[in-house]
Amino acid sequence: MILEDIQRRYGGYIAKRLQTELNITDLADTDLAGLVDFLNERAEAAHRAYKKYLDNPLAAPHDATAKEKTGNLYNSWRDAEELAYLISVAESVHDTATAAKV
């Protein structure tokens, strides 16, 4: 249900991106009004995980697996930030278009 609302409100690209990056259960636990906050919190959590891993480099093994984990954490953080930004911009565009119709 929320995916249909997202597609109607923001378009197919953003709906597909959300569907690809998030579990359907993640989307089911939030509503459209709280989506931006949910995505910002998700981005902050990803950033904290990345930073925590980098703050203690001696605790992590220095092999290809550690480098891969660092890359995965960074990509997760970057993707979460980008998705939160896209939704914020889409919401702003939606609000502007709605105000223009009135």
- Give the model's pLDDT for residue 70: 80
Other CB atoms closer than 10 Å to residue 63's CB: what's the count? 9
The tokens for 4 are 């249909």
- Give the model's pLDDT for residue 82: 93
Task: State the virtual CA torsion across 78, 27, 15, 71 in degrees, nearest 10.
Answer: 20
19-76 tens-digit pLDDT:
888 887 877 778 888 888 888 898 999 999 888 888 876 666 566 677 788 888 899 8
Q: Three-state DSSP class for 77?
A: helix
Domain boundary assignment for the chain: 2-101
Other CB atoms closer than 10 Å to residue 44's CB: what's the count? 14
